[in-house]
Amino acid sequence: MLSALKDTMAKGNPLESLAGNLMVSRSADGVIVEILDLGERPMFQSGSAELTAVVRQVLSEVANVIAAVPMNIKIIGHTDATPFRGSSGYGNWELSADRANAARRALETFGVSPERFTRVSGRAAVTPLIPEDPSDARNRRITIELVTVETPSKAAASND
């Protein structure tokens, strides 16, 4: 699956121009896909959970790859450290959670089964990607964690 996502970003493929917005890596439990805001191509309008065309395109291509992979999905929204205060106390915590949920809805629209989502959460600016610059646009991101589904036989083996 890592290679399929990387192929999608390769020269001549749909995400070539957006490759800088996407980071893919392995984790102990599966694969992590980070969709980054690069500033000049924002994923969301300032203070909004509405997806821009850029992030919709990225999510569409990511969904094409992950829809066929039998892994559970966790989505985490992140903001930068710039304080945001909307009406009625709406701030970075609410904004990051709403953005994660918007990404979940988009993935479902693009063909990912709703039953595969095990967590959707917001982290505000608690876990910056660029800790030395908490206001860096790349800290505004969506993390999609693809977690290996544990079968009963795997679970029993790990308990031995």
Q: Is the pTM of this model over 0.75?
A: yes
Q: Per-residue pLDDT tens for 78-119?
A: 999 998 777 788 899 999 999 999 999 999 999 999 999 999
pLDDT in tens, 43-72: 888 889 999 998 898 899 899 999 989 999
> How confident is the model at residue 156, as a pLDDT?
47
Closest by CA to 142, choosing from 91, 85, 96, is 96
Contact (CB, 8 A) for 121 and 77: yes
Residues sharing a CB contact under 8 Å with residue 72, sequence separation 6 or more, in sequence order: 116, 117, 118, 146, 147, 148, 149
Q: Which residue has the higher pLDDT, 37 or 7?
A: 37
The three-state secondary structure class of 31 is strand
Q: What is the pLDDT of residue 155?
A: 46
| Beta-strand pair 71-78/117-122 | parallel
For the chain, what percent of residues have pLDDT higher than 90?
59
For the segment 105-134, the average pLDDT, to the nearest whole number, is 97
Check whether 144 has a pLDDT greater than 70: yes
Long-range contacts of range 11-16, CB-CB < 8 Å, 24 or more positions apart? 14/57, 14/61, 15/57, 15/58, 15/61
